[in-house]
Structure 1
Amino acid sequence: MAGTFVDPHAAASATTEPGAVVRPVPTAESLRRAAHAVDGRYREELAHLVGIDSGSHDADGVGRVAEWAAATLAADGFDVETVPTPERDGRRYGPVVIARRRGAGTARVVLFAHMDTVFPAGTAAERPFRVDEGIASGPGVCDDIAGIAAGLAAARVLDRLGYDGYGELVLALTPDEEVGSPASREILAEVVGGADAALCLECARENGDLVGARKGVADVLVSIRGRAAHSGVEPERGINAAIEAARLLLDVQALSGGAPGLTVNVGKVASGSRANIVPEQAELHVEVRATALVDLVGTLDAIDERARNPFVDGARIEVTRLDVCPPLERTATDDLASLAREVGDRLGLAFDVAATGGASDANFVAALGVPTLDGLGPVGGGDHGVDEWLDLASVPDRVALLAGLVAAIAEAPAPE
C-alpha cells in the first residue's frame, strides 16, 4: 500500500469517464465537524462499556461487551458475525466480533481492538467511570475501551459524510489480547489476511504519538534435571541442578544487550526442596524482547545451544518456548505512518510515530505481511493501573484522524 491523501479539489477536477460516479472525498473540515457530531454518543458508549467487568478470564463479562458491540454494529449497518473461541489450557474466553461493511472501492481496511481488560470482576463497581475536568477514568477506559468506541465513531463519521470509497471496512474485536491472544489469534489472522491495511486501535501515547514499532516478546521455560542425593552422606552421587541453573542464569542473562533493543530477563528461579538434599531439579523463567525478528530468533537459538552444553556433568536441560510474539517492525508501518502524517497535517494535528517495548495484536498482524499501524485510538495513559485515564478532548481529533486515514488508504493509488 502506498500513496497520498487525495485533495478533494484535485479529485473533483480530475478527468473522469462520462457517466462515472465521483465519490465525495472527506475534507479536513468535514471530518472535524462529523467527529464532533458523534462525540456525545462516543462518551455515552465509553461510559457504558467501562461499567462492564471484562477481564480476560471473565468470559461472561467479555461476552456481554461482545453482545453489546455486535448489536450496535448491526444497528449501524454492518454485517456482523460473532465467532466463539476455543478453550485454551482449560480456560474459556469470550468470542470475536467481526463486522463488515461493503463499499464502492477496492481497498480492504481492517480496524481492530480488544474487549478484555486486566482487571478482576468487581472493579467496575469499585472504580466506576467518572469524568473530572475532561479526563475520563475507570477500568479499561484507555486500554482498550476507548479504541473500541473510536472504531465505531470513525465508521459513523464516514457514514455521515456519505463516504464509501473503500472496498470493505472491517471491525474486529478480540477477547484475550491482554493475555497474549491465545484463543483469538488464529481468528484475527484469518480476518486480516490479504487486507490492504490494518489499523490497531490501542490508544495513542500520552504525548499523542502513534505507534510504529513494538518489540517482539518470547516467554521461555528452562527446566534442569539432575539427581538427588543426601548432602551429608553421599553428595558426590548427586547432580546439582541448582548449580547448573546458576551458571545457566548468568550465561542467558549475558545475552541481553547483544543487539540494539534486545533485552533478556531471567525473572523467576526455582530449585530444590530441602537444604540437606542435592537438588534434582531447577527452573528458569526467561523473557526475551527484541525490536527485530532476527535478533529475537537468534537469542532463542543461543539459549537452545547453551542448553545442549551443560556445565554440570550429567545435568539435562530442556528449553520450552511457551509463547513467541514477533516484533512490529518499521518495515510494516512506514507507508501507513507517512499517510497518517499527511492526514494529520491536513487536520492540524502534530504527532510522531513512536516505538515501544510492549506488544499488542498489531505484532501478530504485521507478521502476516499486512501493512499495519498502531496507536490510532484517542490519547490516554496509565494502562493497567488504578490511575488509567483518557483525554476526552482528544477524542474528536483522533476519530477524525482515523476516519481520514481510512479514506486516504482507500484513495491511495494501487502499487505498481
Structure 2
Amino acid sequence: MPSRTAAAPPTPAALLAHAEALMPRFRDDLRALVGIDSGSASPDGVDAAGAWCVERLAALGFGVERMPTAPVDGTRYGGVVVGRKTGRGTKRILLFAHLDTVFADGTAAARPYREVDGRAFGPGVCDDKAGVVAALHAAQLLGETGFDDFGELIVAFTPDEEVGSPASGAMLASLAAGVDAALCLEGARENGDLVTARKGVADVRIRVRGRAAHAGVEPHRGRNAAVEAAHLLLDLQALNDARPGLTVNVGVVTAGERPNVVPAAAELSGEVRAVTLADLEWALAAIEARAAAPVVEGVSCEAERMAVCPPLETSATADLFAAVEAVAAELGLVVGGAATGGVSDANFVAATGVPVLDGLGPVGGDDHAESEWLDLTSVPGRVAMLAGLVIRVAAG
C-alpha cells in the first residue's frame, strides 16, 4: 500500500494566525488550571490538575498514561501525566512542564485568576501553568494544521519541580532518554529571553564530632566542635568564585546545647552551585577534603552529599537555540538566551545527554509571589514558536 504523500508543513504565518485564533480557548484553559490548587505538598490537588490535563490530551488524540510516584522520605507526591502521539516521521520530541506550584491549598479561591491590561494574575499563572497550557496548545496547533511528520510527540507533566523533583526526576529522565529534542515549558524571562544555561546545585551537610566537657571545671578535656565548625564555615566561604560562577553558601550552622558545656557536636548545611558539572564536582571534592582534615585536635568531620542536580550547560542547548532563533525570525520575533542560577527539570533531562532548551513558555514574572503575572500578548507568538520548533526538529 503506497504511503501518503507528505503535506507541506504549515507556514509561520499560518501557525501564528492559528495561535491567535486559539487565544480565547487558551485563556479559558489557563483560568481553569489556575483555579485548581496544586501545591507540591498537595498530591491530591496536583492529581486534580493532572486529571484536567488528561482530558485535554485525550481530546487531542494522545494516548495518555498516569504514572504514580513513590513516596520520598515518607512524603507523598502527585503523579506524572504522559501523553504520546505517533506520527509519520522519525524524530522523537518531548515537551515537558510541571503541575505543582509553591502555593498552599485555598490560594486559588483567595486569589482567583484575573486579567488586567493584557496581563493574567493568579497562583502559578506563569510558573508553570501557562507552560502546561502552552504545551497543550502547541500540540493542538500542530494537529489542527495537519502536521504529524514527527516520529513521536511526547508531552509530560510532573508533580514536584518546585521542591527539586525528588519523586519524578528519575522518571522524567527515563522519558527523555533517547529523544531527539526535549523542550522545557518553564516561563520565558521577563524580557522574553529563553534559558540556555542553568547552574547545577548540590546540597551538602557536614557533621562535626568533638568531646563534651565542663566549661568551667575542665575545659581542657573538651574538643570543641563549634570551633571546628567556625573554621569550616570560613574555609567553605573562601571557595566562592574559586571557579567562574561557583557559589558556596552555608545557610545553617548548629552547635552545642548549653553555654556551660564544651560542645561535642556541630552541623553545617549548605549548597554549592556551579556552571559546569566539572566545577560542581571539584567544589564537592574540595569540601570533602577539607572535612577530612579538621584543624581542631581531637575533632572529626564527615561531609555528605545530600542531593545533586547537574547543571544545564550551553553545550546541551546550543543547537536548539540556533534552531529557535531561526523559527522566531520567520515569525518576526527576536529571542535572546539567558543563563540563570536557578534549576529546573531541564537540568535532569540534560543529564541524559539529549539536546534540551528551557524557558519556552510565555513571558511572565514575579514567580512565587502574590504579584505573579503572565503577559497574555506574548502567548500566540510563543505557542507558534514552540510549534514551529517542533516542525524544525522533525525535519532534522
Q: TM-score range by the shorter chain?
A: over 0.9
Cα distance in 2 for residues equivalent to 1:229 and 1:120? 46
Given the alignment, which residue of 156, 162, 185 partners 2:140? 156
CA contact (8 A) 1:24 1:162 kept: no
CA contact (8 A) 1:158 1:403 kept: yes
Given the alignment, which residue of 39, 45, 49 partners 2:29? 45
Given the alignment, which residue of 88, 91, 101 partners 1:107? 91
Cα deviation digits, residues 255-290 of structure 1 (max 9, x gap):
010111111111111111111010111111111101
1:91 and 2:75 are equivalent in the alignment: yes
Flag the 1:156–1:19 CA change in 2: closer, same or farther, 3 A. Answer: closer
Cα distance in 2 for residues equivalent to 1:385 and 1:221? 29
- For the residue of structure 2 that corresponds to 1:109, the secondary structure is strand
1:124 and 2:108 are equivalent in the alignment: yes
Shift of 1:22: 2.5
Specify every segment of 5 or more residues in structure 2 that has no aligned partner in the other structure, as ranges.
none
Q: Report what 1:210 is aligned to.
A: 194
Given the alignment, which residue of 121, 134, 137 partners 1:137? 121
Cα distance in 1 for residues equivalent to 2:106 and 2:32? 15
Aligned length: 395
Alignment of 1:334-413 (within 5 A): 334-412=318-396
Cα distance in 2 for residues equivalent to 1:400 and 1:353? 18
Q: Report what 2:39 is aligned to.
A: 55
Q: Report what 1:290 is aligned to.
A: 274
1:236 and 2:245 are equivalent in the alignment: no
Cα deviation digits, residues 142-173 of structure 1 (max 9, x gap):
00000000000000111111000110000000
Q: Report what 1:24 is aligned to.
A: 8
Give TM-score, length-normalised by structure 1. Answer: 0.94
Cα distance in 2 for residues equivalent to 1:329 and 1:322? 22
- For the residue of structure 1 that corresponds to 2:248, the secondary structure is strand
Cα distance in 1 for residues equivalent to 2:144 and 2:196? 29
Cα distance in 2 for residues equivalent to 1:219 and 1:333? 25
Amino acid at match of 1:395: V
Amino acid at match of 1:411: A
RMSD: 1.0
Q: Report what 2:304 is aligned to.
A: 320
Give TM-score, length-normalised by structure 2. Answer: 0.98
Cα distance in 2 for residues equivalent to 1:236 and 1:275? 16
CA contact (8 A) 1:326 1:367 kept: yes
Amino acid at match of 1:367: A
Q: Report what 1:302 is aligned to.
A: 286
Amino acid at match of 2:185: L
- For the residue of structure 2 that corresponds to 1:86, the secondary structure is coil
Cα deviation digits, residues 336-383 of structure 1 (max 9, x gap):
000000000000111111111100000010111010000000000101
- For the residue of structure 2 that corresponds to 1:204, the secondary structure is coil
Cα distance in 1 for residues equivalent to 2:42 and 2:6? 48
Cα distance in 1 for residues equivalent to 2:10 and 2:353? 29
Q: Report what 1:200 is aligned to.
A: 184
Specify every segment of 5 or more residues in structure 1 that has no aligned partner in the other structure, as ranges.
1-17
Cα distance in 2 for residues equivalent to 1:336 and 1:212? 9
Cα distance in 2 for residues equivalent to 1:94 and 1:194? 25
Q: Report what 2:255 is aligned to.
A: 271
- For the residue of structure 2 that corresponds to 1:169, the secondary structure is strand
Cα distance in 2 for residues equivalent to 1:23 and 1:291? 43
Shift of 1:23: 2.3
Cα distance in 2 for residues equivalent to 1:41 and 1:272? 59
Farther-moved stretch of structure 1 (186-195 vs 99-108): 186-195
